[in-house]
Structure 1
Amino acid sequence: MLKVLQEFVCHYLRNPNFRELYQKDQDQALLLRGANPLEKELIKKLNHTHLDRTALSLRNERYDKRRAEFEEFFHYLSKFTDIDIFFDTFVRLYPTGSVSRKEEMNRFVNFSKLFIKENNFPEILTELLDYCYRVTLISDTPRENREEAYRNKEQTINKDTIFKLLEPYEVVDYKYNLNLLVEEDLSVESILEITPSKTKFFIQKNYKMATSSIVLEIDDPEFFQSLSNQESLQTILSKGNSSEGETVDNIQYLLKENIAIIKA
C-alpha cells in the first residue's frame, strides 16, 4: 500500500502528463498506477492543492538549474519563442528530473537541438547551446593540477622555460563568432544577419574560482598549440608569429591568471 502511495505522489509531482490525466479522469489515472480500492480512497484524500504547489515548485527549481547552466542560450532563445512553453515541452518529454546533472544536461541539449531544427531557428543558437554545455561541464570538472599551481609562484622565465596549460581545458572550433552573442544583447534582426566566421575558443577550469570556467578567444592558434605541446619559450619564439616582447607579455598574463604554469 505504502509503495503505491509513494509512486503516485512521485508521478503526480514530476510528471505533468500524469497530473493532467488525474485531474481529468481520476479512475483512469489510478488504474494505470495499479491502485486497489483502499489505495484509491487514500489517494483521493490527499491534499492535492498542496501537491500542485509542490509540483510547480519542483518544475521551477528544475527550470532555474537549466537556465543557470545555459544562461546565454535561454536569453537568446527567448527572443524566438515562449521560453516557458519550450521548457514545459522538455519536461513533458523527460518528466523524471532526478538524474545526474550531466545526464539531464545531455537530455536538454538533445531536445534543444531538435527544437531549433524543427522551428528553423538560426544555426548559431545550436552553437551557443554547445558553448554553454561545454563551459558548464568544464566548471564542474575538478582541478587536475591544483598542487602544481600552488607551488608555481614567483618563478623566473628564461628561454629554456617550458610552460604547461592547467587542466582541464579544451579548444573548441565554432562556425560562428559567438562573442557577438555573449558580449552583446542582439536583436532578432541582428542575429539573423550574422554570417559564418570561424572562431576558436579556449575553455578552461578556473583555478581561482572553483565553480567557474575561463573562456578565451584564440587569435593565435599556433601559440596555444605550442603551449599545449609544452614547448620551451625559445621554441615558441623561433616560430616568429609575434615579437618577443608580445609573446612574453602574453605568457606572463597566462601565468598571472593561473591559466598556465611553469613546468617543473
Structure 2
Amino acid sequence: MAIINLQRFMVAYVRDITLRNQFTQNKEAYYAQFELTSSERKLAEQIDYSILQVTAEKMLKDRIDRRESEFQEFFRILRLLDEYEEFVYEFAVQYPQGSLSRKSEAERLSAFAAAYIRKRSLPDILLELMEYSRLAADMTYSSKQSPRAAGPLILPRNQRLYLREPYAVRKFRYDLVRFLETVESRDDVEAFPAQDCLLFFQKSYRNALSCVILEVDDETLLNLLKEGLSFNTILLHAPNKETRANWADSIEYLFQEGILGLDDADDTLKGGENNEKSDRSYDIRPSG
C-alpha cells in the first residue's frame, strides 16, 4: 500500500509551524490538501502527534541555534528587547523549511530581520547590528586565502606588507563596539547615540572559527596598509614624529597578531597557528 501522500503530509507537519498550529481544527482540510486516500487518513488518525511535535520543536531549535551562533550579537539584543520569541516564530512561519546552504539561510535571515525591525518600529541600530553580525559570520566561515608556512618572528622593515584576506571595512552610524560592551536594558538600546564608526573585519588566522574585529582610529594608516607598502615606506608618510611612533606600534601589533602578512614570502603567526574552536568573533585593539 502506497503512503506517499501521508509521508508528504508528515514531513510538512514537522517543518511547518502554521500547519501544526492549525491542524487540530482543520484536519479534513489538510487531508484534502495533501490528497490523502481513505487508507492514509486512517493511518493519519493513528499517529502520535505529540512525538511529531517534539521532533518539530527540536528541528526548529537546532535551526535557530545555528543562526544564533552566527548572528550572536543581533540575537542577544533581540532577547534584551523581549523580541526573541516573536522574531523566531514569525521567521519560522515565513520560512518553514531551512536552506541547505548556510549563506542562503543567512541572507534569508538578514532580509527578514530588516523587514521585522521596520514593522515592529524597533531602534534602527538593530539594522546596523545585523550587518555587523553578518560580516563577522562571513569572515568566520570563509576560507583563509594567505600563505601560512614558516616565516620570521621579527617584522622586516623593508619587505612589503599586506592585509591578509579575506577582510572587509565598513562604516557604521553607531559605535557598535561600545554599544555591545555597554548596553544592558531596552532603555540603553533606545537611548544609544549615533556616532560614526569605521570597523575592520578579517578572518582570524589564529583560530579556526573566529574573526578579528578592529575599530579603525586612523583611516590614513589603513589606506597605506592596503597599498602593500613596507614598514619603512609607510612611516615616510607620517606627518609628524608622534604619528610615526603610533603607526610603528600599530604595524608591529598587527603583524604579531597575524593581521598583516609579508608579500612574496611564506609567513606564519608567531608561535604557530591554533586550530582549536573558539568564540567566532572578538575585538582586538592596540593598547595606549
TM over 0.5: yes
The alignment partner of 1:183 has SS state of: helix
Deviations 1:137-162 (A, max 9, x none): 111100011xx23333335422x321
Residue equivalent to 2:283 = none
Mapped contact 1:155–1:262 kept (Cα < 8 A): no
The alignment partner of 2:74 has SS state of: helix
Structure 1: distance between partners of 2:155 and 2:39: 78
- The answer for unaligned runs of 5 or more in structure 2 is 265-288
Residue equivalent to 1:191 = 189
Residue equivalent to 2:148 = 149
88-97 vs 181-190, which deviates more? 181-190
The alignment partner of 2:131 has SS state of: helix
Mapped contact 1:97–1:104 kept (Cα < 8 A): yes
28-37 vs 3-12, which deviates more? 3-12
Mapped contact 1:149–1:261 kept (Cα < 8 A): no
Structure 1: distance between partners of 2:200 and 2:156: 24
Structure 2: distance between partners of 1:81 and 1:187: 10
Structure 1: distance between partners of 2:13 and 2:222: 52
Q: Which amino acid aligns with 1:236?
A: I
Residue equivalent to 1:33 = 34
Is residue 211 of structure 1 aligned with residue 209 of structure 2? yes
Residue equivalent to 2:244 = 244
Residue equivalent to 2:139 = 138
Question: In the superposition, relative to structure 1, how do residues 224 and 14 fare at CA in structure 2: closer, same or farther (>3 Å)?
Answer: same
Residue equivalent to 1:71 = 72
Q: CA deviation at 1:228?
A: 1.3
Q: CA deviation at 1:258?
A: 0.9
Mapped contact 2:106–2:134 kept (Cα < 8 A): yes
Deviations 1:204-251 (A, max 9, x none): 001111111110000011111111111222331122155433322211
Mapped contact 1:149–1:258 kept (Cα < 8 A): no
Deviations 1:2-32 (A, max 9, x none): 4323211210111011122322221111111
Give matches, 1:9-158, under 5 Å.
Answer: 9-145=10-146, 148-158=147-157
78-87 vs 235-244, which deviates more? 235-244
Structure 2: distance between partners of 1:25 and 1:231: 69
215-224 vs 226-235, which deviates more? 226-235
Deviations 1:34-57 (A, max 9, x none): 211122222222221111111111
Q: Which has the higher helix share?
A: 1
Deviations 1:99-149 (A, max 9, x none): 31111111111111111112221111110111001100111100011xx23
Structure 1: distance between partners of 2:191 and 2:237: 37
The alignment partner of 1:254 has SS state of: helix
Give matches, 1:171-182, under 5 Å.
Answer: 171-182=169-180
Question: Could you tell me the TM-score, scaled by structure 1's length?
Answer: 0.92
Aligned residue pairs total 261
The alignment partner of 2:85 has SS state of: helix
**Structure 1 vs Structure 2 CA RMSD:** 1.7
Structure 1: distance between partners of 2:83 and 2:6: 35
Structure 1: distance between partners of 2:254 and 2:172: 23
Mapped contact 2:5–2:34 kept (Cα < 8 A): yes
Mapped contact 1:173–1:199 kept (Cα < 8 A): yes
